[in-house]
Amino acid sequence: AGRPGYVTLPIISVLAAIGYVYYTAVFLAIPAWLGLATAAGVANVAAYTTLALACVAAYGLVVTRDPGRVPPAFVPDVEDAETPLHEIKRKGGDLRYCQKCSHYKPPRAHHCRVCKRCILKMDHHCIWINNCVGHENYKIFLVFVLYAATASFYSLALMIGGALHSVPKDEQSGIDSPRKSLVICGVFVCVMTLALSILLVWHVYLILHNKTTIEYHEGVRAMWLAEKAGNLYHHPYDLGVYHNIVSVRTLSITSLLHIPQTLKHSSMFTMQ
């Protein structure tokens, strides 16, 4: 998969896919449908190019931005009234400590086997960016997915319009290279649109519940154990929809290391 910060084959594949779709949309679909000499054609080229550049810029940031490092001096203070919530190990009941990094794990932090270090508020490690998605780059990751999904829908509309309005180059021989290329690219874009839409909806769901992907899967098991014991499970970081959304936009490292007083649940809960 390559070490974090290095350009890998998946990253090259993503950039190549963006270039392929951009070329097909701008140089085949728009000319066939609207024409490059028309006002509508020029406007669509400008809008699509702007969206593509924003998508590439966001992708570059999510690839290169550090997902969040644990401060070397971090030590949980279980007696501090400002931090009423602490995570403990599922087995043993001790505070979470990373043997590989030789430090305590702050709330919501996890060790990534690929990055070989602990990541603050780790969501997952993504091979397509050769990086973890965590506290410091989650917002830009979400922006990239939003841009990419929007660009995919836009591309799909252009492919369909271009394929329907393209005229065969040679009516007698039936050769229709532009239309064939548009159909092939359209199928590819359709798959990407579906995948990106599912990813976007998934992360919107996580934001509304103030969860990470890791916490969602851990919560499924915690809910099962709670129901088995006759208890009711509640995600400890769920502050309500509005505050959950605001927390993604304003959460700082300080507030992440010192859980706010609004978390009015038990002072300890188990994590892996």
Position 85 pLDDT exceeds 80: no
Q: What span, in angstroms and rounded, lies between the C-alpha atoms of 94 and 45? A: 58
Residue 103 and residue 149 in one domain: no
126 noted as active-site residue = yes
With both helix axes pointing from N to C terminus, report the angle between 177-208 and 9-24 in degrees, rounded to the nearest 10. 120
Residue 8 and residue 61 in one domain: yes
* 206 within domain boundaries: no
Instruction: Give the pLDDT band of residue 71 (cuts 50, 70, 90).
Output: confident
* 48 within domain boundaries: yes
Number of domains in the chain: 2
Task: Give exposure, 61-96, as e/b (b: 16+ Cβ within 10 Å).
Answer: bbbebbbbbbeeeeebeeeeeebbbbbbeeeeeeeb
Give residue 15's domain range.
1-65+136-164
Residue 146 and residue 30 in one domain: yes
pLDDT digits (tens, 9 = 90+) for 95-148: 788 989 988 898 899 999 999 999 999 999 999 999 999 999 999 999 999 999
* 148 within domain boundaries: yes
Residue 106 and residue 8 in one domain: no
Model's pTM, two decimal places? 0.84
* 159 within domain boundaries: yes
Surface-to-core class of residue 260, CB atoms within 10 Å of its CB (0-12 exposed, 13-18 middle, 19+ buried): middle
* Range ranked top by mean pLDDT from 73-82, 86-95, 102-111: 102-111
- Residue 231 has a pLDDT of 80
Q: Which of 101, 126, 132, 185 is catalytic?
A: 126
* 53 within domain boundaries: yes
Residue 156 and residue 117 in one domain: no
* 219 within domain boundaries: no
> What is the overall mean pLDDT for the chain?
84
* 140, 65 contact by CB (below 8 A): yes
pLDDT digits (tens, 9 = 90+) for 147-179: 999 999 999 999 999 999 876 654 544 555 689
Pairing of strands 268-271, 86-89: parallel
* 122 within domain boundaries: yes
Residue 122 and residue 160 in one domain: no
pLDDT digits (tens, 9 = 90+) for 190-241: 999 999 999 999 999 999 999 999 999 988 887 877 777 878 788 888 989 9
- Residue 6 has a pLDDT of 82
Residue 76 and residue 118 in one domain: yes
* 100 within domain boundaries: yes
